[in-house]
Amino acid sequence: MPDTNQKICYLISICQIAVVVSLLWTLPVAQTYAQTYAQTQTRNRAHTLIDQMEALYRGETSQARITMKVITPQYQRVMNLSTISQGTDKFFIRVLSPRRDSGITTLKLGEEMWNYFPKIDKVIKVPPSMMMGSWMGSDFTNDDLVKETTLSDDYDLSLTETPEQYSITLLPHAQTITVWGKIKYIIDKNLLVPVAQHYYDDRGVLIRTLTFSDLKDYDGRLLPSHLEMNTLNKPGHSTHITYETLEFDPDNIPDNVFTLRNLQSRS
């Protein structure tokens, strides 16, 4: 009988060891799966937030009146602009004033962009290599104005958060055409509106900062009405954009707005 009990105890011990070994093997696998799942959820959340922020100022269609003030140590200039957009593929800007710039227009269709200059009566196509160039001498680039680059598609995103803010770090893909080595996007966690964007070069040096302020209601959306871009490697240079009006999904946008012919129209 003792021999039988000893065999039973031996078998039980073997089973216990097997269970322990099994748990020790599956625990790292479960932890790895949990970590991978959490990382995936965080990445998905970052993509969702960036897409929401990028869509804040547009609907299926939108139109706005904007005041842009460009400040440099040598001069200040103020422009009044009219903008119309449709989704992410169509964008139209017309300079309304001052008189010397009136009629200058910008058109984006898909991945192509043109500028029209009435003084020389010439349409100039903007090549991809110039998308990061200054628009009308401001601190905003052509890409800033027409959103040629899609942040959630062209950058790797990582998300951190505090009780008050989300902070999303964007690193460009190898094939992304950009001068930025990194962008940090700060979002108000409660209001879900942008607070700031910080742009770094490929050496990690902060080059410019875009801040958002002065919340106003536009067609039921609470949005920052004032955007200020400061170029840190150009002391005294900044550009201020103020949304005077912003309307979403208006029903009075003609079909021919987003055409090269309209680009040269004086109306």
Average pLDDT over residues 31-50: 65
Between 250 and 7, where is the model more confident?
A: 250
CB 133 within 8 A of CB 151: no
CB 99 within 8 A of CB 80: no
pLDDT at 4: 62
CB 67 within 8 A of CB 244: yes
pLDDT at 177: 76
pLDDT at 25: 67
Average pLDDT over residues 24-37: 54
pLDDT at 178: 82
What's the rounded Cα separation, in Å, for the pair 266 and 105?
10
Spatial CA neighbour of 210 closest among 131, 148, 138, 137: 138
CB 222 within 8 A of CB 33: no
Give just the sign of the alpha carbon dihedral 252, 255, 257, 261.
negative
Distant-in-sequence, close-in-space partners of 109: CB < 8 Å, separation ≥ 6: 89, 90, 258
Spatial CA neighbour of 170 closest among 130, 199, 196, 195: 199
pLDDT tens-place string over residues 143-190: 887 765 678 788 999 999 999 999 999 999 888 878 899 999 999 999
At 184, list the tokens: 């940090």
CB 97 within 8 A of CB 79: yes
Q: Using pLDDT thresholds of 50, 70 and 90, give the confidence band for residue 130.
A: confident
Block residue for tokens 């937030």: 49
pLDDT at 267: 62
Q: Using pLDDT thresholds of 50, 70 and 90, give the confidence band for residue 37.
A: very low
pLDDT tens-place string over residues 80-124: 999 998 888 889 999 999 999 999 999 998 888 999 999 999 999
Between 39 and 73, where is the model more confident?
A: 73
User: Which domains, and CATH codes, for the chain?
Assistant: 53-263 (2.50.20.10)
From residue 78, give the alpha-carbon distance in Å to each of 64, 84, 96, 178, 235: 16, 20, 11, 28, 19
Work out the mean pLDDT of the chain and round it to a whole number.
Answer: 85
Average pLDDT over residues 115-142: 88
pLDDT tops 50 at residue 34: no
Average pLDDT over residues 233-248: 94
pLDDT tops 50 at residue 257: yes
Average pLDDT over residues 221-234: 94
